Amino acid sequence: MQNWMELYQQKLTTAEEAVKVIKSGDWIDYGWVTTHPVALDEALAARLPELEDIKIRGGIALWEPAVFKVPEAEKHMCWNAWHMGGLERKAVDKGIAFYNPLRYSELPRYYREHIAKPDVALLQVAPMDQHGYFSFGPNASHLGAVCETAKYVILEVNRNMPRCIGTTESEVHISRVDAVVEGNNPPIGILPSGGAPTEIDKAVAKLIVEQIPNGACLQLGIGGMPNAVGAMIAESDLKDLGVHTEMYVDAFVDMAMAGKITGDKKTIDRGRQVYAFGAGTQKMYEYLDCNPELMAAPVNYTNDDRVIAQLDNFISINNALNIDLYCQVASESSGVRHISGAGGQLDFVLGAYLSKGGKSFICLSSTYTDKQGNLHSRILPTLEQGTVVTDARPNVMYVVTEYGCVNLKGLSTWERTEALIGLAHPQFREELIKSAEAMRIWRRSNR
């Protein structure tokens, strides 16, 4: 039997030594969310002033990477994000970061077939097990493809990373690794679940929960409203729910601990909560650790609409920033101001509709208040110039605000317009009607 610990010791080195393999012009991969390295990142930051044209891929930074803090970092590197968090939005303003548009289900294939192969992968992982495997923690996502295609793989071991049970591509073997670094075992990055849900969150959640049957299979996006739905489900009479989601969030833990999740009615992966990645609080990481009820899987499985379609009564719940009267959903940008990313929203909008009894919900508050205290409608005549469309209008099913829930499938332009204006804040409805008339998509019905 191979002595994997002996091989581990042969590949063990310091962060400073490990990053010496990096040279100007390289593509570096930091993985995703909690797999972003710490010690290796700091070592690369120390070297960055002597390097040029370093291109780093990552996504949803839960702490500010050290390379962002290097003076005049933009002269030496750029960050290419598969999804944007708050830290990365600030980096965009500094000229350091850029977004990689994607349909998340396709990401592993990007690495295998389309994009520049990583010269070096720097990933934070759980400690090696007795069989020589390092778990990616709650980040199966696309990391199997990263390690498969990278020319050089360097792992940073963190004892605080949960070991997450999963399918293939949820871990990497020591034999496929070039170097191992034992870091300082910092706490795993926390994604706060947010404060208490607002009254608007609760109103939207109530409208959605009313549409969920017993035995449904759930996907929740990130944000206050999906979390409010989870909290309401945990307190509801619903039972035998299943989970098949892109992102695992604290709300699922609350539902599971309340006995609402069994997975007994799932038509595939029965009894397992399936997810591509997870980010949340320490409570969630502890729940994920070595839990056989959970199944980490690559995103080309979790987000494949052909897989989602096999799950009856699939319920997809996601946020949006704006929607216009043509029913175009914007979840990534407001004008040219980039906010988030496409993620898997379209994957689940399409997959839920293909499911027998499936429903997809796009939820948003009817308004928002700017820094000057001015109230603005999130339902617009047309999206602001430069706004990115995440979900094209033929694909949108249910839209929910605190004023109601409507199914747009099959409706004509005037029916859609009337339905959406009914979801708008009353202060903006007459203005929206006037715009719709000018756009020739308004016909007041007798309903």
Q: Check whether 231 has a pLDDT greater than 90.
A: no
For residues 189 and 62, give the distance between their C-alpha atoms in angstroms, rounded to a whole number: 5
For residues 223 and 226, give the distance between their C-alpha atoms in angstroms, rounded to a whole number: 6
Determine the average pLDDT of the residues in 4-25.
97
Structure confidence by residue, pLDDT tens digits, 239-282: 999 999 999 999 999 999 999 999 999 999 999 999 999 999 99
List the alpha helices (DSSP H) in 139-249. Answer: 143-149, 199-209, 224-234
If pLDDT is split at 50, 70 and 90, which confidence band does 446 have?
Answer: low
Per-residue exposure over 178-199, b if at least 16 CB sit within 10 Å of its own CB, e if not: bbbbbbeeeebbebebeeebee
Rg (CA), the chain: 23
Which residue has tokens 């949006």?
Answer: 320
Structure confidence by residue, pLDDT tens digits, 42-59: 999 999 999 999 999 999
CB atoms within 10 A of CB 161: 24
- Given this model, what pLDDT does residue 194 score? 67
Structure confidence by residue, pLDDT tens digits, 21-44: 999 999 999 999 999 999 999 999
246 carries an active-site annotation: yes
Q: Check whether 217 has a pLDDT greater than 80.
A: yes
Structure confidence by residue, pLDDT tens digits, 357-384: 999 999 999 999 999 999 999 999 999 9
- Given this model, what pLDDT does residue 341 score? 87
Instruction: Identify whether the C-beta of residue 387 lies closer than 8 Å to the C-beta of residue 335.
Output: yes
E strand or H helix that includes residue 405: strand 404-407
The structural domains of the chain, ordered by start, are 4-182 (3.40.1080.10), 199-438 (3.40.1080.20)
Pairing of strands 329-330, 179-182: unpaired
Q: Check whether 407 has a pLDDT greater than 70.
A: yes
Structure tokens at 197: 């849900």
Determine the average pLDDT of the residues in 330-355.
92
Percent of the chain at pLDDT > 70 equals: 99
Instruction: Identify whether the C-beta of residue 341 lies closer than 8 Å to the C-beta of residue 92.
Output: no
- Given this model, what pLDDT does residue 441 score? 96
Q: Check whether 204 has a pLDDT greater than 60.
A: yes
Structure confidence by residue, pLDDT tens digits, 107-129: 999 999 999 999 999 999 999 99
What's this model's pTM, rounded to 2 decimal places? 0.95
Q: What angle do CA 68, 72, 74 make, to 5 degrees?
A: 65
Give φ, ψ of 70 to 5 degrees. Answer: -65, 130
Among 329, 438, 437, 427, which residue's Cα sits nearest to residue 377? 427
- Give the end-to-end CA distance of the chain in Å, rounded to a whole number: 75
Q: Which of 171, 246, 332, 402 is catalytic?
A: 246
Q: What angle do CA 403, 84, 90 make, to 5 degrees?
A: 105
Q: What angle do CA 329, 399, 226 make, to 5 degrees?
A: 90
- Given this model, what pLDDT does residue 284 score? 95
Q: How many residues does the chain have?
A: 447
Determine the average pLDDT of the residues in 222-242.
88
* DSSP-assigned letter for residue 394: G
Per-residue exposure over 113-138, b if at least 16 CB sit within 10 Å of its own CB, e if not: eeeeebbbbbbbbbebeeebbbbbbb
How high does pLDDT run on average in the chain?
95
Structure confidence by residue, pLDDT tens digits, 129-172: 999 999 999 999 999 999 999 999 999 999 999 999 999 999 99
